[in-house]
Amino acid sequence: MLLSNLIIFAFAIIFTFILVPLNIRFSHKFGLIDTPGERRIHKEIIPSAGGLSFAIPVIIIQFVMSGLLPDYKDYFLQIGFGGLGISILGLLDDKKGIIARYKLFFQISIIILVYFSGLKIELLTNPFGSSISLGLFSFPFTIIWFLIIINAFNLIDGMDGLATGIAIIVLIVLFAVSIVKTNQLVIVLSLSLIGSLLTFLKFNFYPAKIFMGDTGSLFIGFNIAAISAAGTVQFKGITAITLIIPIITLIIPLFDIITSVFRRLKKGKNIFQADKEHLHHLMLRKGFSQKTIAIIGYIITLLFGLIAFGFSFSTKEILLGILIFLIILISIFIFVYIRKELSNK
């Protein structure tokens, strides 16, 4: 499969490289542009909906591979059609600006369709014995999982190259684990997206020539959630590892989600109301450049990614202990942040 994997990787890189200039012209022609404003940090008009540049090659690969790898046909089709639906939603949002609660409704609708097509989280690894069947809880767990990962990327996509680079690192970790566990499904899914995003980053890193928009951030989030949620077909017996990789590597946007919800509730605002108080906004006000913030984000994600990769070699007992430690550590950070916010009220 080495040759076919190299072909997939090369196709993703080349096709995306061809599509980005076309996407820029397409965005200008159809008004898919991001103009400077109160909540924007860029000073010029930038084409948005750049996610089309990598969504199209990746979806094509997924559909083609559904025929070439019949054992994984259903998974490729489920993720392919789900990614197509979520990218269309993102494109409409980039063009029209869909109200947040409606966008959430459509996200849930797409996830429900994907769930009933067969892509769901049914088992969790039990550190004290056999895997735990979620049963009826599979449905809400799967929906919440997808929503968290999708909106984590949607949230962090507020600065040149930040979301793109973090996504690449998360996918590289998933790819590395899939190599160790010899799983062709995850190898193809992650490798195709890595190739496309590496090319897109060339145009998206500061100073960006094109933004991914919701078209791209929703698509990336959906695919990473889907890769990790495909279940035991990916990593037999260690389902928790596939779920823990995005949780650990996405520690920055996940922390940002929690603090953003708290901040808006404290101020009596709608939790979906956008603001300029995210971590990258705060770092900008502290004097950090966009390039520096992106690199810091990459380094932190990479460090946590190495930790996540190490889990694939850990016993379930060690995995549980590290999980508990991380939960306690994150809870302390959140508690300290909340106390600081309340003291500044």
Domain ranges across the chain: 2-343
Cα–Cα dist 200/316, whole Å:
37
Q: Name 33's bridge partners.
A: 47
> Given CA atoms 163, 169, 173, 179 in this order, what sign does their dihedral have?
positive
Residue 240 pLDDT exceeds 60 = no
Render the burial of 102-115: b for 16+ CB within 10 Å, e for the rest: ebeebbeebbeebb
pLDDT of residue 339: 61
Q: What are phi and psi of 237, to 5 degrees?
A: 85, -10
Residue 102 pLDDT exceeds 80 = yes
Stretch among 99-103, 167-171, 288-292 having the lowest mean pLDDT = 288-292
Residue 199 pLDDT exceeds 50 = yes
Residue 298 pLDDT exceeds 60 = yes
Question: Which residue did the predictor score with more confidence, 157 or 61?
Answer: 61
Residue 50 pLDDT exceeds 90 = yes
Cβ–Cβ < 8 Å for 211, 47? yes
Query: pTM for the whole thing?
Result: 0.86
pLDDT of residue 38: 59
Structure tokens at 235: 């990593």
Cα–Cα dist 177/241, whole Å:
9
**What are the Cα distances from residue 159, in Å, to 123, 204, 293?**
36, 9, 9
Q: What is the mean pLDDT of residues 293-311?
A: 82
> Given CA atoms 42, 47, 48, 54 in this order, what sign does their dihedral have?
negative
Structure tokens at 126: 């039990």
pLDDT of residue 296: 85
Output Rg (C-alpha) for the chain, integer angstroms. Answer: 19
Measuring CA to CA, which residue among 321, 40, 263 is closest to residue 160?
40
Query: Rounded mean pLDDT of the chain?
Result: 83
Residue with tokens 């932190």: 300
Residues in CB range of 212: below 8 A, 6 or more apart: 48, 49, 50, 51, 54, 157, 163, 164, 200, 204, 220
